[in-house]
Homo-oligomer: A and B are copies of this chain.
């Protein structure tokens, strides 16, 4: 019993915050034409194990009493991108491309539990996948949609604004190749540890990969470029390692940065340290962090993957971004920095005079619901004072007394009036989300 480390659960007034966040994300995604899908929680282990580094964190699942013929090796998915790529290939014949989908589900990783890390966590992903080809403008699109969603979360739930750090794999890979690095993925994964390990540590890893000190120095100088100025292309070229891939990467990065900067000037920087550890990214890569809460780490990330989804014959290039719902909201909810104004949807409690007249209270409640007003009937016919305390403990703002021709009291102010055709204040209908309550 009790809690299991890394598996957060919330009280109703916390879950309401999370539900509101999900509703906001879903609303933005649907306004942009993304279709919702869900994939099963379990995937064949062979699918999950292909992604390198992450394998050791996979949860393996088997039946307690497995039988002959059971597919023995299943695992819980560790993100929503790998299952989505599998879904696209499975259903390619029935989908229309480019296919735009959102997916809001939990994923599981057996990480070492620590501050801000969860073993069960919700993600909200959007991706656009083409068949054979996919226009670059979709890279811009998914990023703008997610930034719009973050802006709504900031406006409605008060989460801090985000900073998106953007880079490009063509640029990184081209730059490393121009420097003579042969195992570029190994170098990328080393640089991906910069924030954790520091320059000296990464320098050592790169040296261990057989790179000379000039090369290592150039890689670290490149990774140090962080700017919100549109002139970053020249800054990169000045490092001297230029080829077609570098130029293609700079071109894409300029287009993405330019389009995002135009609409969200305070929320985007070019950061050549961004690499993403996963091997399937092939172009744009980006990470979002919360301004003023950078220590929380990446709350949202994604990129372009040109060959993740393939059935051997056809390839389905995609681009997507994944919002870390639990990463962002679990700390805010746990600390009580965000909490719903009440623990129940009910905006009014219908009091019961005596068990003999419970039917009358039920009828009042049924009529309220018919008018779209969430309510509940008192569980007992205690004294009115006790019924008011019952409402108060839950944060229910109104109590209806005396049956059909009764009165409604706002228990916050004590104001009371005739119940006929009563409607709650618009602001009370749905529980408000309170920020940093006392």
- A interface residues (Cβ-Cβ under 8 A, vs B): 1-4, 7-12, 15-16, 18-19, 30-42, 44, 47, 55-65, 70-71, 74-76, 86-87, 89-91, 94-96, 98, 100-101, 106, 108, 110, 120, 130, 135, 137-138, 343-346, 355, 358, 369, 372-376, 379-380, 390, 393-394
Contacts and interface: CB of A to CB of B under 8 A. Distances in A.
A63 B61 CA distance: 9
A48 to B, nearest CB: 9
A56 B37 CA distance: 31
Given A41-B120, A343-B35, A379-B138, A3 B90 contact: yes
Nearest to A3: B90
Contact of A42 (B4, B44, B137): B4
Nearest to A74: B4
Contact of A346 (B8, B9, B33, B86): B33
A130 B390 CA distance: 13
B344 A11 contact: no
A434 B390 CA distance: 44
The oligomer's copy count stands at 2
B1 A89 contact: yes
A188 B17 CA distance: 43
A342 B47 CA distance: 31
A369 B120 contact: no
Contacts of A100: 344, 376
A38 B9 contact: yes
B374 A42 contact: no
A143 to B, nearest CB: 13
Given A30-B345, A31-B374, A137-B355, 4 more contacts: A9-B39, A31-B369, A35-B345, A100-B344
